[in-house]
Amino acid sequence: MSGNRVHDFASSPRSVLHEDIEKGPKDVVTGRRIKKSYRTPKTATDPEEIQVTGDFVDETGHELANGWVLGKKLGQGMQGSIYLLKDKEGNDAGRVFKEVNNKKAGKATGNLVGLEREWAIGRKLNLLDEDDGFLEGFMQTGSKVLDKDGSFMGMVLEKLNGGDVLKRLEDTKFNDVDYILAMVMQVLRALNRAHHAIGFRHGDMRIHNVMEHFVTMESNKGDEPAGPDNFGERVDLRGLHFKIIDYGHAVAEHEKATDHDKRHKAQRFHMPKIPTFSLEKVYRWVFREKGDVWRFMRSIGQACEGRVWRKQDALKVKLLLRLISKTTGYHHSVQFADSKESGEQKKSLIEKLLSVGSRLFFFKWLNIMLRAYIFPGHPTMSAAEALQYMQEQRDKIGLSEREFPCGTLAWGANQIG
């Protein structure tokens, strides 16, 4: 891997189609033919809806519909479960199935309506996909899944090839600022595109809701392992795309969209109303004056608080912290050093106790949350404004286009919404 990792990432052929392009099937959302490439997700041409078989049971090994069989359960929360999907031969179907655990309870709590709204938002976002069906910046949404009685019960989603961003940042040794900045720029770019296309607002934009997606033919899997400085690994950014997930709190304010064609097509996906007595309404009221960028940068700041950074990355870390401070109003403490141990030695006892990964970090996390909420910097900053701010600050700090290529990564930065 060459010396300038961000430049390598920015110049990788993310939108170049495979040479063997064939006339593909029709995308039912956009209405156009898919030109298949190595990036084309399995969900790109999924039908609008499918219905479970008569003997369906939501357990591993049982057929869902359309020849897809429930595989391993990937996770289960209070609201729902996610399963891998396989074909009848046991091969990876490139999809996952998401359902509400208990439909009766889901109706009472509003979780079932929330999941159906998430499906509708996801199909609207599919309007942003490229000619080969690849959806940059967002997990693609496949078919709505109907129960035996024809009622909504879940949805099919694109299977992503990567891990959780949060899991990386939970490692206290991890301080790959190029990785974090690449994620920030991709997420901001995706939010900006979606806002202009359909008036999209995520409503819960935290690093918890961002996942990695490696496109194998663009990736060389050249991660640099942890060295004698005891810092964490550096991630090979080639072929790495960051995708936003979980649209349960999202809205599409079509009146704010500037792409009239996509806005018109998006309106055909009905959004069921939020129940009158629902925690969702309380949640929205609490964060009514806080935007997606504020939420996103606050969560990054909380994850990075007290982290030790490499000396040579000082300017890039400074750029990251300036955006965090601009949006949240919170000024984070950092240490720069040649090794993690020497950086930790620079900290005071209080700083050590309250740094990320420590037993008392929750109190620091809560303090950041409350101060950012009560005394925010720019809580309604749009993604376009944030992109423009990053480019302005890069120039002030003295980073070159090669060191941090805003022009390449920040697509749409001059489209202030």
Output the DSSP codes for 34-85: EE--TT--GGGG--SEEE--TT--SSTTSEEETTEEEEEEEEE-SSEEEEEE
pLDDT at 351: 80
pLDDT of 400 > 50? The answer is yes
What is the residue extent of each domain of the chain? Answer: 23-158, 165-409
Across 191-195, 282-286, 368-372, the highest mean pLDDT is recorded for 191-195
pLDDT at 151: 93
List the single range of 105-114, 139-148, 286-295 with lowest mean pLDDT: 105-114
The pLDDT confidence band at residue 221, using thresholds 50, 70 and 90, is low
pLDDT of 332 > 70? The answer is yes
pLDDT at 131: 93
pLDDT of 267 > 80? The answer is yes
pLDDT at 227: 66
pLDDT at 417: 37
pLDDT at 41: 93
pLDDT of 135 > 60? The answer is yes
The pLDDT confidence band at residue 277, using thresholds 50, 70 and 90, is confident
pLDDT of 298 > 90? The answer is yes
List the single range of 31-40, 139-148, 159-168, 348-357 with lowest mean pLDDT: 348-357
pLDDT at 410: 41
The pLDDT confidence band at residue 14, using thresholds 50, 70 and 90, is very low
Choice between 14 and 47, residue whose per-residue pLDDT is larger: 47
Choice between 42 and 21, residue whose per-residue pLDDT is larger: 42
Domain 23-158 fold is: Phosphorylase Kinase; domain 1 (3.30.200)
pTM of the model: 0.89
First-last CA distance in the chain: 37
List the single range of 30-44, 296-310, 333-347 with lowest mean pLDDT: 333-347
pLDDT at 13: 46
Choice between 406 and 189, residue whose per-residue pLDDT is larger: 189
List the single range of 11-15, 65-69, 380-384, 392-396 with lowest mean pLDDT: 11-15
Distances (CA, A) of 242 to 156, 261, 284: 20, 26, 26
Amino acid residing at 65: A
Choice between 209 and 307, residue whose per-residue pLDDT is larger: 209
To the nearest whole percent, how much of the chain has pLDDT over 70? 88
Cα distance between residue 55 and residue 64, in whole Å = 9
pLDDT at 398: 92
Residues 232-235: contacts with CB within 8 Å, 24+ apart?
232/171, 232/173, 232/174, 232/175, 232/176, 233/174, 233/176, 234/5, 234/176, 234/178, 234/179, 235/168, 235/176, 235/178, 235/179
pLDDT at 109: 79
Question: What are the tens digits of pLDDT across the range 59-91?
Answer: 999 999 999 999 999 987 667 899 999 998 999
pLDDT at 408: 45
pLDDT of 205 > 80? The answer is yes
- Residue 303 CB burial class (10 angstroms; 0-12, 13-18, ≥19): buried
pLDDT at 6: 61
Give the Cβ contact number of residue 368 at 10 Å: 19
pLDDT at 403: 86
Distances (CA, A) of 265 to 145, 197, 212: 21, 10, 28
